[in-house]
Each structure stands twice: as structure tokens, then as C-alpha cells.
Amino acid sequence: MVSNSGIKLVSLALALLLEFYFYSQDNSTTQLISAVLEFQNVPNNRLIIDPPSAEGGLPAHIEVNGPKSIVQQISQGFHVVKVPFPDKAPFTFPIDIKYESLQLPPSVRIVSAKPARLTIRTVELLRKEVPIVIPTEGTLPEGFELGALKIFPKTVIARGPLQEIQKLESITLEPLNLTGLGDSSRFELRVKPTSDLTSLNINIVSVEIDIKEKSIKKEFNSVEITQDSGILGLGSKVAFTPAVVKVILSGPKSVLDQAESSLKIIPEDSIKALPGKVKLKALVDEKIIVEKIIPNEVTVKAAE
């Protein structure tokens, strides 16, 4: 029977052999991995303008050496190298990139890394709220007009170099083409910064366009007054003098074209005794405005 001490010695030998192979030259590899340089603690009143796009992170390339399986696993990950912004730094300064902040397994070492040194150029930063302006172009179909143009949000926060943002009065989008639009519409429009150094707190605005028919006036001649004595609070049949009136209405053309068949002229108030006088009113669609009723007062008497 093999003693326990013998088994332990064999296990230890196997472990040493595996470890020797794992860290041996034959099992090691050198590979290039990608990382992002991320600047930390940048002052609120400073903007990095060089290298370009530094605020969003700069690409870095790191050559590492170590066991194949570990290096291959590292190469598939996302790596961030934190670059602290120096205290009280001038507007332009050099900085050495320290890749030690990249936490790698003890068995993996950094062979080389680029960039190793950068020159950082900054400017004073300003944030400013400015309105959004949307010009229009083209023409609506005949008989239609543009109503309210609603933008949401109405303003945008621009962030960029002090001298550039101070001059910025508005963000003007590309013209909105009205050609062929016959109904109120809603659009989602992209907002673009005015320069590569300026950023905005939004990139999409919602625009609602109110398109309506133009209001026109139309005369209706010889409109009969409704011969309904019940409207007047009388039990007997009555007659109006004059019996017909002229009515001038205003509103959308499509509605006015249908108004003649439904137009109704009735007394505005009841009357207690005959003969008498009564003012008139028109019953019309809610989209129609009654401009005039001529005459607007008639005589009421008992019908013969």
C-alpha cells in the first residue's frame, strides 16, 4: 500500500511540473491589446482641445507578455487607463502616461505601451443656454396657411471654448420644407453642434407644425328665417318681415362649402306679444364665425 506521504510527494511533483509548464517560455506569448486613456478630475472650467477627442477617451496600444490563456483572455476585454489631470496645471502641459493603473494579473507584464507621453492643450470652458431656430422653406398647397410652430425643447445647453460660446446666439437647424404638407405634422430633427469643439446636451428636437385652411368670407343671400313659433314662446304661427336675410360667414373654405345646406337663422330671444321685434342668430358649425346678419333684427307678427 502506498503511504499518504508518498501520494503527497507525487501530487506536489505534478503541481510543480504544471506550474513550470504554465510559466515556461514555451507557454508564454506576447500580444498587443487595446485600451482607452480616460482623463480624470478635469476642472469644470477647462476643456481639452488637443489631442482631438481627448475628453471622450484616447486609444492606446499595450504590448503584454504572459501565459497564453491569460493573455488571450485579457485581449478580449475592455481596458481603461486612468490619467489624472494635474492640480493647477497650465493651459498647455506635457504628461507621462502611467500604465501601472491598468490592473493586470501578476503573471502578465507590460512590454511596451503607446502613447507614452502627451502634450495636453486646454482652453477656458463656458456653458450657455441658447434658443433653437428652425427656418422653413417651400410653399403649402393653395388654401392652407402655417399656424404655430412648436419646438420641444425650445433651448439647448451649448458647451465649448469660451470665445466660441460667447458669440453663439442660437442653434439654427436646416430649413423645414413645407411643400406639399396639407395637415398638421410632427417631426424629429437632429441638432448638430456648431463646431467640433462645441457639444450640446441634446441631439434631437421635436417639432410640431400646425397647418390649417385659410379663413375666407362667404355671403349667403336670401336665407329664410326658421318659421317655428315655438322658438318665440308663442303658440300661433308667425311671419317675419323681412322673411329672408343676408348672412356673411368666415371660416375654412371646405367647411363653408357645406354650410348652405345646414345654415339655420332663428330668433335670438323669445317674444311675449305680437307684433314685435326680435334679433336673429345663426346656427353654424363651430369652425365658422358669423360676421354679419343683414338685417340682424326683424318684425314678428301673426301669420295671416
Reference 181, options 142, 150, 155; nearest CA is 142
Q: Which of 54, 51, 52, 50 is nearest to 40 (CA)?
A: 54
pLDDT of residue 22: 46
Residue owning grid cell 406639399:
180
> May I ask the CATH architecture of the domain 215-302?
Beta Complex (2.170)
Determine whether domain 125-213 maps to CATH 2.170.120.40: yes
Angle value at C-alpha 56, between 54 and 57, nearest 5 degrees: 65
Beta carbons within 8 Å of 227's beta carbon, 6+ residues apart: 237, 238, 239, 240
pLDDT in tens, 283-294: 888 889 999 999
The C-alpha cell 480616460 sits at 38
pLDDT at 204 over 50: yes
What's the rounded mean pLDDT across residues 188-208?
Answer: 91
The one-letter amino acid at 10:
V
Confidence tier at 176 by pLDDT (50, 70, 90):
confident
What's the pTM value of the predicted model, to 2 decimals?
Answer: 0.62
The lowest-confidence range among 15-19, 178-182, 191-195, 198-202 is: 15-19
Q: Domain segments of the chain: what residues? A: 4-115, 125-213, 215-302
- Average pLDDT for residues 31-47, to the nearest whole number? 93
Q: What is the pLDDT of residues 64-91, one digit of tens each?
A: 999 999 999 998 989 999 999 999 999 9
Q: What percent of the chain has pLDDT over 90?
A: 48
Assign 95 a pLDDT band (cuts: 50, 70, 90): very high
How confident is residue 229, by pLDDT bands cut at 50, 70 and 90? Answer: low
pLDDT in tens, 45-65: 999 999 988 988 999 999 999
125-213 and 215-302, same CATH topology: yes
Whether pLDDT at 92 is above 60: yes
Average pLDDT, the chain: 86
The DSSP code sequence of the chain is ---HHHHHHHHHHHHHHHHHHHTSGGGEEEEEEEEEEEEES--TTEEEEESTTGGG-EEEEEEEEEEHHHHHHHHTS--EEEEEPPTT--SEEEEE--GGGS---TT-EEEEEE--EEEEEEEEEEEEEEEEE--EES-PPTTEEEEEEEEESSEEEEEEEHHHHHT---EEPPPEE-TT--S-EEEEEE---SSTT-EES-SEEEEEEEEEEPEEEEEEEEEEBP--HHHHT-SS-EEEESSEEEEEEEEEHHHHTTHHHH-EEEESS--SSSSEEEEEEEE--TT-EEEEEESSEEEEEE--
